[in-house]
Amino acid sequence: MTAADRDAVLAVCERIRAAYPMIGGGLIDRILTADDPCWPYAAAALDYVASRSTDGLESEIEAFATTSMDFLRLQARFMRTGRYARASSEGLVEELYGDPEKMRGYYLDGLALTYALWPNHAKMLEFMGDRFLPLLDGVQRVAEVGVGHGLLAAQMLERNGALDYVGVDISQSALDYAADALKRAGRDDGRIRMVLADAMSGELTDIAGGGGFEALVCCEVLEHVDEPDRLLRSLAAATAPGGVAFMSTVANLEADDHVYLFHDADHIRATLRDNGWTIVEDLANVLPGAEEWRPLPVNYSAVLRAS
């Protein structure tokens, strides 16, 4: 890591702290030490977001601040009630995922920047980079279910530029956003395919074709669906036997579109194992500052193999 890498992230933290002091305490520079190994990953995430910004990150910072303040509001509600505000995924496509203005101007910009500024997201990116990306060496076909902002796709293609990448999302806005961001980041070589589909419907096996995908990524999706066990079985069916995967989700962490409540990391592990996956290695990070909270808010990620 160069000093310039970390300095760029620190400069954005200071911009946010000056404009939105109420969220400044939870930023990466207040939580992680200067020698933490996740800083290069945070810097890479910032570079990715900056590559598509047209106003020097002003709109992206505003979206991030909105995302952060919404999280604080909703998490406070969850800690009082013990349940998510949204009882099911019904209406999410119409209200959010299918609304280009909400997706581009708020949802995707804000979430992409969390990987540079929220310590748990930066640590997840580091875990993916250190433990999963090396498994892509020699892999040809990879799928990502829940493309979102495209940052994870950029990380995979940076590691293995020969990948045939298929991105699947229920939101056309997300697919367009990711494709544009990847192009701006220099990833537009004809090996990228974006597909509008609902992985819960069984379409994923058809998209995979014979033999299945050699590798698969599904991050921050399981908590957005009513039946994560059904999604996990669909993902396993679309993955070649012994194929590798990287997945992430949360326990006891609220957002506008979180509908399935995992109670703890063990609940997540059991759900993965019961639905076609073997855990190779995992990481469960408690929300910084919430170590004494009950229930415990956790960001979870895992390297997996199809059973």
**Interval 2-50: pLDDT, tens:** 556 899 999 999 999 999 999 999 999 999 999 999 999 999 999 999 9
> Which pLDDT value is given to residue 187?
67
Other Cβ atoms within 10 Å of 70 Cβ, number: 15
Lowest mean pLDDT segment, chosen from 111-120, 126-135, 139-148, 208-217: 208-217
pLDDT of amino acid 287: 95
DSSP per residue, 98-155? T-HHHIIIIIIHHHHHHHHHSHHHHHHHHHIIIIIGGGGTT--EEEEES-TTSHHHHH
| pLDDT for position 183 | 83
Residue 189: how many CB atoms within 10 A of its CB? 12
Which CA distances in Å does 68 have to 23, 53, 94, 124, 160?
A: 7, 19, 23, 18, 32
Sign of CA dihedral 258, 92, 272, 68: negative
Under 8 Å between Cβ of 223 and 260: yes
Q: At what angle do helices 39-50 and 119-127 cross, to 10 degrees?
A: 100
Burial (CB count <10 Å: 0-12, 13-18, 19+), residue 94 = exposed
DSSP 52: T
| Residue 7 vs residues 1, 70, 120, 154, 223: alpha-carbon distances, Å | 11, 27, 19, 22, 34
Is the predicted pLDDT of residue 202 greater than 90, yes or no?
no
Q: Copy the structure tokens of residue 296.
A: 């415990």
* Of 30-34, 181-185, 242-246, 303-307, minimum mean pLDDT range: 181-185
Which tops the pLDDT comparison, 304 or 209?
304
- Residue 208 pLDDT grade (very low, low, confident, very high; cuts 50, 70, 90): confident
- Supply the pLDDT for residue 162: 86
- β-partners of residue 86 are none
Section 268-283 average pLDDT? 98
Distance CA 221, CA 63 (A): 20
Residues 6 or more apart whose Cβ sits within 8 Å of residue 146:
168, 169, 199, 218, 219, 220, 221, 224
Q: Over 90: is that where the pLDDT of 104 sits?
A: no
Average pLDDT, rounded, for the chain: 93
Q: What is the mean pLDDT of residues 89-118?
A: 91
Question: 207 near 130, Cβ under 8 Å?
Answer: no
The pLDDT value recorded for residue 299 is: 98
Provide the pLDDT for residue 200: 86
pLDDT at residue 188 tops 80: no
Is residue 76 over pLDDT 80?
yes
pLDDT at 210: 78
Decide: 262 and 271 in contact? Cβ < 8 Å: yes
Looking at the DSSP bridge assignments, the partners of residue 277 are: 306
